[in-house]
Structure 1
Amino acid sequence: MAERPHRPMRVPSSHFEAYEGGIDPAVQLRIAHDSARALVHRVRATDDADVVERMVAYTDEHGLDTLAELWAQAGPRTLPGALWRLSLLRAMIRQDARGTALIYQRGSEVLAASAHVVVAGAEAPTGPDEILRLADEVLRGAFSGDFAVALERAAAFCRVSAAGAADLADDADAGLDDARAGAMTGRASRLAGSAEDFTACAALERRGTLD
């Protein structure tokens, strides 16, 4: 089947977890929360696997623009904020699967004895194809199965990748490549912060208070 034309994701990886903007009006935040609840409940209530697949493909077809209008300004530890960041994480991976796989693979070596690698669930060794499959699996898990598990997998992925980026930053620093060292250090920091937010969201979801 030929691929359907779609608008490209126009969010560079450096913007992951660094979206900033003005404060949304209260009504827009209410719509963001209401729409997120309605979306998750509607998709999870159906037995039609095609509905889940359509949701996974949604960001490919429409880009992140539509989601951004409602969800991007929501707090990171809210339901719309979690959905936005899951979609943004997948976009980051799809935009640079090779680079993301390199960072993740390095992190999986650094954290070889950690449970985070197991929880993230990427195939090893992790190349571009494996990292793309992981991105789809995590987003798909948000609409089927256990939403908290999907959030925990996203958190684990971010922790492993943060460790990889930090290790690559050390390599660049040793090689006197200050620009790359700075970029990798910043990426590691953003990923580590995202891991904390996903973990917090997973805990809220398990308590039934993620909204």
Structure 2
Amino acid sequence: MSERRHHRPMRPGDRFFDDLLGGTDPALVSEAADRAATLLVRGAHGADDGAVAERLLHLADTEGIEAIAELWSGAAPESLAGCLWRLYVLRSWVHADPHAAAREYDAGLPRAPLARVVAGVAEPPGPDELKAMIDQVLRGIAAGDFADVLFRAAAFARVVAAGRAGLSASSDEQVRRMLAVSEQLEAAAHHELAGRLS
């Protein structure tokens, strides 16, 4: 029979908590992100002040898309924070590469005729028209119905996904990602209509 040595359980000591106490509590970050999204969407809604709509529109420009990503990218798609993340990513993509956005949107028009109508892009859908449309959609956070904002953005993403599916330069993964954005925004719009989006 071998002799077993019993070890005393290790105690973490003070240094164990250094990272824990010095780091940011993920629950607090998530709560702050949700609160900020709620204030932006619900607080801005119905504001007749055009400056409010412009500040919302240019939030990613002034704060940086990276700061917005840090705040909202991990939020659930059916939350206000998740919706704002998807809306700002779409706008950033259109403004960063309007020619590619126009090419993909144009390629999707015959494949998604209903979504084309809902998106409301001026014809013909060139780079400037797409930038104007996506900006108008985001201004709607302050001036319009948030469900309409989400439905229009979802329709736009659906047309782009259809266009990507028809272009040989796009990968299946790019098509799937854009289609997922469309479906998530559309589901969130239905949640908004039902009063369940928060």
TM-score (norm 2): 0.83
User: 1:69: how far off?
Assistant: 2.4
User: 1:80: how far off?
Assistant: 0.3
Gaps spanning 5+ residues in structure 1: where?
A: 1-23, 170-179
User: 1:110: how far off?
Assistant: 2.5
1:47 is paired with a residue of what secondary structure?
A: coil
Choose the corresponding residue for 1:208, options 171, 195, 198: 195
Cα distance in 2 for partners of 1:84, 1:96 equals: 18
Cα distance in 1 for partners of 2:120, 2:184 equals: 19
Gaps spanning 5+ residues in structure 2: where?
A: 1-24
User: 1:45: how far off?
Assistant: 4.5
* Alignment coverage as a number of residue pairs: 174
Equivalent positions of 1:118-157 (< 5 A) are: 118-157=117-156
Equivalent positions of 1:7-26 (< 5 A) are: 25-26=26-27
Cα distance in 2 for partners of 1:39, 1:130 equals: 26
Cα distance in 1 for partners of 2:166, 2:47 equals: 43
User: 1:61: how far off?
Assistant: 2.0
Contact 1:142 1:151 (8 Å CA) reproduced: no
Contact 1:33 1:79 (8 Å CA) reproduced: yes
Equivalent positions of 1:3-42 (< 5 A) are: 25-42=26-43
1:126 is paired with a residue of what secondary structure?
A: coil
In structure 1, what is the equivalent of residue 63 of structure 2?
A: 62
In structure 1, what is the equivalent of residue 22 of structure 2?
A: none
Cα distance in 2 for partners of 1:161, 1:184 equals: 13
In structure 1, what is the equivalent of residue 114 of structure 2?
A: 115
**Larger mean Cα displacement after TM superposition, 32-41 or 78-87:** 32-41
Contact 2:46 2:142 (8 Å CA) reproduced: no
In structure 1, what is the equivalent of residue 18 of structure 2?
A: none
Percentage identity across paired residues of the two chains: 40
2:167 is paired with a residue of what secondary structure?
A: helix
Contact 2:47 2:143 (8 Å CA) reproduced: no
Q: Which of these two proteins has the greater Rg computed from alpha carbons? A: 2
Equivalent positions of 1:37-186 (< 5 A) are: 37-111=38-112, 114-169=113-168, 180=169, 183-186=170-173
In structure 2, what is the equivalent of residue 8 of structure 1?
A: none
User: 1:53: how far off?
Assistant: 1.1
User: Per-residue CA shift, 1:46-76, capped at 9, x if unaligned?
Assistant: 3211111121122122211222222111111
Cα distance in 1 for partners of 2:101, 2:173 equals: 14
User: 1:145: how far off?
Assistant: 0.6
TM-score (norm 1): 0.78
Contact 1:155 1:198 (8 Å CA) reproduced: yes
Cα distance in 1 for partners of 2:39, 2:47 equals: 13
Cα distance in 1 for partners of 2:47, 2:116 equals: 31
**Larger mean Cα displacement after TM superposition, 43-52 or 150-159:** 43-52
Q: CA RMSD in A?
A: 1.4
Contact 2:45 2:142 (8 Å CA) reproduced: yes
User: Per-residue CA shift, 1:2-30, capped at 9, x if unaligned?
Assistant: xxxxxxxxxxxxxxxxxxxxxx7222111
User: 1:142: how far off?
Assistant: 2.1
User: 1:143: how far off?
Assistant: 2.3
